Structure 1
Amino acid sequence: MTALLIVNPKATTTSERARDILVRALGTAVDLNVGYTRRRGHATSLARQAVAEGMDLVVTLGGDGTVNEVVNGLLEAGKGPDETPRLAVVPGGSTNVFARALGMPVDWVDGTGVILDALRDNRSRTIGLGRANGRYFTFCAGFGLDAAAIRRVERARVKGISATPALYLRSTVAQYFSGADRRHPAIRMEIPGQVTHERLGLAIVQNTRPWTYLGTREVSPNPRASFDTGLDVLSLNEMNLATTIRTASQLLTGRKPPHGKHVVAYHDLKKFKLSSARPQAFQLDGDYLGECDAVELESAPEALRVLC
């Protein structure tokens, strides 16, 4: 079996020594090549090359951004899951939502063990993905407030600040109080054949649960989201302080999904559109992708085979 290990050398939780150990461990089970990413988007090129060379497996060592790039490289040719290399994920980032959603251990050593066991037992599963304006995502997309908060986090990381749960919370609060959409929400959601919602303040889209983690705690606005169903979305049609605090409290306590007259939520959607009268921040799998005024979202069922 041929495999490519795609390594983000800036991965948060692994060292050079750890990467060497991983390479030796995987090399006992597969004919392994190793590629190191050098810039944003490079992982997509490496995955594309693995498809062209007919490799059987692509393994990532990095965070959710690296995984997202690899997935898009693997699926770019439009082949089915049986014609595409399988994907295995070794947790190496600060959050690793996708790996943990698959049930992978947080520790990279334990994660490597799971992958080796799956190779030995020829064990894999096929999962559904999401697609936004033609780009695949594995667990979440955001349009509006949450994406703008991620933009703040990324700017802080450029300055050398670690991406901790506290930083995400501070960034979200700062964006809420400084952004225009709190007073004048501008997002529109159109679901074909169903309904159109106007004046929404944000849109959180999930392909699976959770949406993210705060340390070890799962945070999931759409707790029924699954790799085996379509897309779930949660929006608010009122962004005043009382509504926002109530919804955030419901979200963080996790006893029930957010609810109330200002909550707009849908489960298992095949396709819908988000648009805005003014450009909105946009993110996929926790990576800020800039601003846009419209996003076409659709479910991509049974799109990818993964080892877990």
Structure 2
Amino acid sequence: MASPHADPLERLGEQFALTTPTERKRLLVITNPYATTVSDRLKKLVVYALGGRYDVESVDTQRRNHATELCREAAAEGYDAVVAFGGDGTVNECANGLVGSPTPLTCLPGGATNVLCKMLGIPGDIVDATEHLLMLGDRWHVDRVDLAQVNDRYFTFSAGLGVDAAVVKEVDARPHLKHRHGPWYFMYRAVHVAVRDYLWRPPRFEVTSGDTTVEGMTAIVQNGDPFTYFGNHPLHVAENVSLESGTIAGVVLRRARATDVPTIAYRLLVPRTRMVDHKHIEGLPPGDEIVMRSPVPIPLEVDGDYIGDVDHAVFRVIPGGLRVVR
């Protein structure tokens, strides 16, 4: 029996090991050791706790896109599920490796925002999330959620072009500050990038969704709602889209001056306000394809990770494209 002074994760593992045994599913835990809240000790405790109910193997990512390779191998080897233990970027890489396979994905919160984790109803606290996953052993059920794609990259909840992606690019270049200051560092870089690069002579591009074509300087495309979180506060941008809607939707920022920054931030942060009501923001109706064309390459991000500059982007939805356990 665990000591009353044992770590809560140790107690969870022993508690579930003593309950009535069920069929033991085989899990692969893929951990990003550099994620915001992940440590080697925490990973070991999580794996120990999960071992009370599952047959668990664990592996750390070593490089960019390593999780995608590991997930393809896990699907080929017949694991019952992959657990992404890291931030949104780790979850994105795992989804890219599991799309089209019978192996489902689940996740544990290890990053700063953990957007898909929260969208799937998984608790944001690691102890609560681990207990949630342990309890799934008795009511194992695989769901399907939509997955989206831009060019040759899949994403789970959102993608951005222009200011949004430029901010992500700069934040990713300073991971130590991202880890230390979290969403406040994003906010600081957003103001800096907007003032420096986008208020005076921003790059402009065209976005087409169905019969709607809009010229703008920034676009957000979503596969679900919310767009992201500021701490535990959801930030809503696009409308009428969810992980089960079978569509993608978005918004385009047509232009912005210095005086527009406070009003845009207000609509982003204050509940019961709508981003699409801003005079310089155009909502893109839900559909199955959105196309961007630009005369010059502009930054692109997916699920909070910068992936490069592009002058042409085709966004599509893959209804039910990802299996999940939640």
Same fold per superposition (TM over 0.5) = yes
- Please report how far the alpha carbon of residue 183 of structure 1 lies from its aligned counterpart in structure 2 after TM superposition: 3.3
- Please report how far the alpha carbon of residue 228 of structure 1 lies from its aligned counterpart in structure 2 after TM superposition: 1.2
Structure 1, 98-107 or 216-225: larger mean CA deviation: 216-225
Distance 1:160 1:135 in 2: 24
Provide closer, same or farther for how the CA distance between residues 159 and 171 of structure 1 changes in structure 2, counting only shifts above 3 A. Answer: closer
Instruction: Please list the CA deviations of residues 158-194 of structure 1 after superposition, one character each: whole Å capped at 9, or x if unmatched.
Output: 67862511111111111111114653441211224x1
TM-score by length of 2: 0.87
Instruction: Please list the CA deviations of residues 115-158 of structure 1 after superposition, one character each: whole Å capped at 9, or x if unmatched.
Output: 11122111342111111112110111001000001111112226
- Please report how far the alpha carbon of residue 58 of structure 1 lies from its aligned counterpart in structure 2 after TM superposition: 0.6
Provide closer, same or farther for how the CA distance between residues 115 and 267 of structure 1 changes in structure 2, counting only shifts above 3 A. Answer: farther
Q: Are residue 100 (structure 1) and residue 115 (structure 2) matched? A: no
Instruction: From 66, 85, 97, give the equivalent of 1:73.
Output: 97
**Partner in structure 1 of residue 3 of structure 2:** none
**Partner in structure 2 of residue 213 of structure 1:** 229
Distance 2:199 2:317 in 1: 27
Aligned length: 300
Instruction: Please list the CA deviations of residues 16-67 of structure 1 after superposition, one character each: whole Å capped at 9, or x if unmatched.
Output: 2221121122223222221111111111110010011122111111111001
Distance 2:71 2:259 in 1: 46
- Please report how far the alpha carbon of residue 295 of structure 1 lies from its aligned counterpart in structure 2 after TM superposition: 1.0
Q: Are residue 203 (structure 1) and residue 235 (structure 2) matched? A: no
RMSD: 1.8
Instruction: Please list the CA deviations of residues 63-93 of structure 1 after superposition, one character each: whole Å capped at 9, or x if unmatched.
Output: 1100100110112xx44xxxx2111101011
**Partner in structure 1 of residue 321 of structure 2:** 303
SS in 1 for 2:168: helix
**Partner in structure 2 of residue 38 of structure 1:** 62
Conserved 8 A contact 1:190-1:197: yes
Instruction: From 312, 320, 323, give the equivalent of 1:294.
Output: 312
**Partner in structure 2 of residue 255 of structure 1:** 272
Q: How does 1:46-85 map to 2 (within 5 A)?
A: 46-75=70-99, 78-79=100-101, 84-85=102-103
SS in 2 for 1:179: helix
**Partner in structure 2 of residue 183 of structure 1:** 201
Q: How does 1:266-281 map to 2 (within 5 A)?
A: 266-281=284-299
Q: Which runs of 4+ in 1 moved over 4 A?
A: 158-161
- Please report how far the alpha carbon of residue 242 of structure 1 lies from its aligned counterpart in structure 2 after TM superposition: 3.0
Q: Gaps (5+ residues) in structure 2?
A: 1-24
SS in 2 for 1:205: strand
Provide closer, same or farther for how the CA distance between residues 250 and 57 of structure 1 changes in structure 2, counting only shifts above 3 A. Answer: same
**Partner in structure 2 of residue 23 of structure 1:** 47
Conserved 8 A contact 1:98-1:138: yes
Conserved 8 A contact 1:210-1:223: no
TM-score by length of 1: 0.92
SS in 1 for 2:268: helix
User: In structure 2, what residue type is equivalent to 1:205?
Assistant: V
Identity of aligned residues (%): 35
**Partner in structure 2 of residue 241 of structure 1:** 258
Q: Gaps (5+ residues) in structure 1?
A: none
